[in-house]
């Protein structure tokens, strides 16, 4: 059997995978890729590097930051493991898309029958098609590294937060934001409905911070900076007005 002598230049690999040569350098600088060099010093990518790059891009499509990708690929760099993670994420996305499609079709059928959609139905429809758009990315990872201490990040990531937990918490926050919007413009933070929303938000915050004031401050600072970034803010399920209102509600609850 002939040895595998497949190899390509950086430019050829970039074109094959639809990425830039600069991106390949970024992955190399991050320690994710180690292309061989010719005698003249040119980078060449052989089969192992091609498979490694495929794994990197598969994980990156899930919204994972480069640091996390490095952790997952450290060791064997198994492409099959990366694709298994991507398959699981796509299955989740498929289920969400099918549910969103069902809601859209039901809404269209109701409108076709000259019926109106209730505020609850409209809110559920919007959340089903928008909440899952947000993905953790390199910017969010950089913000996390900036606002949380290494010890806080290690503690958070050791909790074993499952995909089901993420869905549950995401849905709970989405409902809170929808309920705030349903209060109308300039709502009164002291009404029973507003206070009930605030208590639900506090319960979710307590679950995340576990009563640690420092963790609460770090999460708040990260959230404020994220929402101040237009690129991140437009993909988030919340908006500054939600948190401004909740701050007023929390003040009422302290009374």
What would the pLDDT profile of 45-92 be if each residue is shown by its tens digit?
A: 988 888 888 888 877 776 677 877 887 777 544 556 666 666 776 776
Residue 81 to residue 218: CA distance in whole angstroms: 33
Percent of the chain with pLDDT over 90: 14
Choose among 97, 99, 229, 89: nearest CA to 166. 89
| Burial (Cβ within 10 Å: 0-12, 13-18, ≥19) of residue 252 | middle
Average pLDDT in the chain? 80
pLDDT tens-digit readout, 100-153 = 778 788 888 878 888 877 767 666 666 665 544 456 666 777 888 889 988 888
Orientation angle between helical segments 10-17 and 21-29, nearest 10 degrees:
100
Local structure of residue 133 (DSSP, 8 states): G
7-73 CATH: 1.10.1660.10
Maximal CA-CA distance, the chain: 79
Choose among 246, 222, 226: nearest CA to 236. 226
pLDDT for 6? 65
**Domain spans, the chain:** 7-73, 134-254
pTM over the 0.85 mark: no
């Amino acid at each position: 059997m002939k040895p595998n002598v497949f190899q390509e230049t950086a430019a050829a690999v970039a074109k094959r995978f639809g990425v830039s040569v600069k991106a390949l350098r970024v992955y190399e600088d991050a320690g994710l890729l180690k292309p061989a060099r010719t005698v003249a010093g040119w980078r060449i990518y052989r089969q192992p590097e091609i498979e490694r790059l495929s794994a990197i891009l598969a994980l990156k499509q899930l919204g994972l930051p480069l640091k996390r990708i490095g952790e997952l690929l450290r060791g064997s760099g198994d492409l099959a493991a990366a694709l298994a993670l991507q398959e699981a994420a796509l299955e989740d996305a498929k289920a969400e898309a099918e549910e969103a499609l069902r809601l859209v079709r039901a809404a269209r059928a109701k409108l076709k029958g000259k019926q109106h959609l209730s505020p609850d139905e409209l809110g559920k429809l919007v959340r089903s098609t928008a909440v899952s758009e947000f993905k953790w990315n390199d910017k969010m990872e950089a913000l996390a590294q900036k606002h949380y201490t290494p010890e806080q990040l290690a503690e958070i990531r050791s909790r074993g937060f499952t995909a089901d937990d993420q869905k549950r918490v995401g849905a709970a926050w989405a409902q809170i934001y929808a309920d705030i919007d349903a209060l109308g413009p300039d709502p009164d933070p002291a009404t029973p409905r507003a206070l009930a929303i605030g208590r639900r938000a506090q319960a979710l915050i307590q679950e995340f911070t576990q009563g640690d004031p420092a963790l609460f401050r770090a999460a708040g600072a990260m959230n404020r900076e994220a929402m101040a970034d237009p690129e991140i803010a437009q993909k988030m399920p919340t908006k500054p007005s939600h948190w401004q209102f909740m701050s007023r509600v929390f003040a009422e609850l302290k009374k």
